[in-house]
Amino acid sequence: MITVTEALEIVLENAGSPSTEEIPIREAAGRVLAEDVKSDIDMPPFDRSAMDGFAVAGEGREHLLMGEITAGNLPRITVTPGRACAIMTGAPVPRGADRVIMVEHATVEGDRLHIGKIPPEGANICFRGEDVKTGQTVLPRKTGLSGNRIGIAAMAGKNTLSVFSKSVVGLITTGNEIIPSHRVPAPGEVRNTNLPMMEAVLRLNGFTDTRSTHCEDDPSSLEETLGTMLETCDVILTAGGVSMGTRDHVPGVLRSLGVELLFREVAQKPGKPLTFGVGHGDRVIFGLPGNPVSVMVSLEEYVLPLLRKRSGFREYTKRDFTGNLLSGFRKKPGRLGYIRAVANFGNSGCTIELPPSSGSGDLMSTFRVNALVLAPGESTGAEAGESARFHLMSAFAGEMAFI
């Protein structure tokens, strides 16, 4: 059995190198740049007015108005001392003008402009190239593409972007007792919560290309299903069938298909039987324990970091936060504990609430959970008021943010 730190290192070391593809800019939201984006023009591309006002030359207070310049029109007016023109925000500054007077600092009587307050030279003008020069990198490689960054790419003249490709993810749940969620369980049957949960977590994090199926505890059926997944998917997740029972066939079938299992157990709770392997080129396979909370923890702590790294993200591991416990907890020493928590951020800091739970099969206990407290392996628990380290869940606060 290996430690959580060792397990994550092995997972990330075997994430593989992301491939790239060229896509239209309108489809690039949530992707990661595989190239530097450089501007093909100066920004602004011309001297422009920063506000509605009057373009003037010099420090005179009385001017003859010569017309108006609006955005999108090239001015044919030349401004000289004693002559001015009205100008709109974003409009090109006319030749000769060296400042723009704010509307509220001037009055107009007929064709005469009277200035009450004279600003310094260059005031209220955005000069050509002051934001970006031609050829300057505006978005470096490995930048995550949020809405404003896509706007910057468009401003730099891009209509298509080279991005890192997203992995195709295969999802398999196992178990003779597992039935579809729309059916009423007979004695001994359990509704399939893992498959829709895995699909939802992946979709919320931008991994939408999935292949999903359920497989009974039958080695030949499992071998056929996994064989197909290994041919068509980049990353494969199985849920269930990885422990030591007589019906836990996943590890043996993976070996028979040529998959090298790099670890079978991790010193953590929940999720001790977590299995990870590689094979068939750069395919990676996670064998997740079948209990729903174990699946949730494994997705957050191992699967998403690997998928983010494979997708080119500069930052792909969880960020550590700390907060003060509102109540204490007890645990047995030996394994790192992932404890369900509700983190509340306030003006005076962060507090951590621990909802009651009854084990790794208690999915209802996660209803309000947005964090996982990390209780060290040697720990026997903590008291109310003590500080605790935690990870935020991916769908809640910032784990989806681009860095």
Of 10-19, 124-133, 389-398, the poorest mean pLDDT is in 389-398
Q: Please name the fold of domain 321-392.
A: Beta-clip (2.40.340)
Helix (H) and strand (E) counts in the chain: 7, 28
Domain range annotation of the chain? 4-19+166-310, 25-42+132-164, 48-126, 321-392
DSSP code of residue 350: E
Q: How confident is the model at residue 396 (pLDDT cuts 50, 70, 90)?
A: low
pLDDT score of 17: 84
Q: What is the pLDDT of residues 10-23, one digit of tens each?
A: 999 999 888 999 99
Q: Please report which helix (H) or strand (E) contains residue 201, including its range.
A: helix 194-204
Please name the residues in contact with 147: beta carbons below 8 A apart, sequence gap of 6 or more. 29
Q: In the structure encoding, which two tokens stand for residue 161, read together?
A: 């972007």
Pick the CATH number of 25-42+132-164 from 3.40.50.300, 3.40.50.2000, 2.40.50.100, 3.90.105.10: 3.90.105.10
> What is the rounded CA–CA span in Å between residue 142 and residue 313?
6
pLDDT score of 402: 44
DSSP 117-172: SPPPTTTTEE-TTSSB-TT-EEE-TT-B--HHHHHHHHHTT-SEEEEEPPPPEEEE
> What is the rounded CA–CA span in Å between residue 261 and residue 280?
12
Q: How confident is the model at residue 104 (pLDDT cuts 50, 70, 90)?
A: very high
Q: What is the CATH number of domain 4-19+166-310?
A: 3.40.980.10
Q: How far is residue 341 from each of residues 179, 320, 391, 398, measured CA to CA in Å?
A: 29, 14, 10, 16
Q: In the structure encoding, which two tokens stand for residue 121, read together?
A: 């030279």
Q: How confident is the model at residue 308 (pLDDT cuts 50, 70, 90)?
A: very high
pLDDT > 70: what percent of the chain?
A: 98
CATH class label, 48-126? mainly beta
Q: What is the pLDDT of residues 58-68, one digit of tens each?
A: 999 999 999 99
Please report, in angstroms and rounded to a whole number, the separation of the first and last CA atoms in the chain. 34
Q: What is the pLDDT of residues 325-376, one digit of tens each?
A: 999 999 999 999 999 999 999 998 999 999 998 888 888 999 999 999 999 9
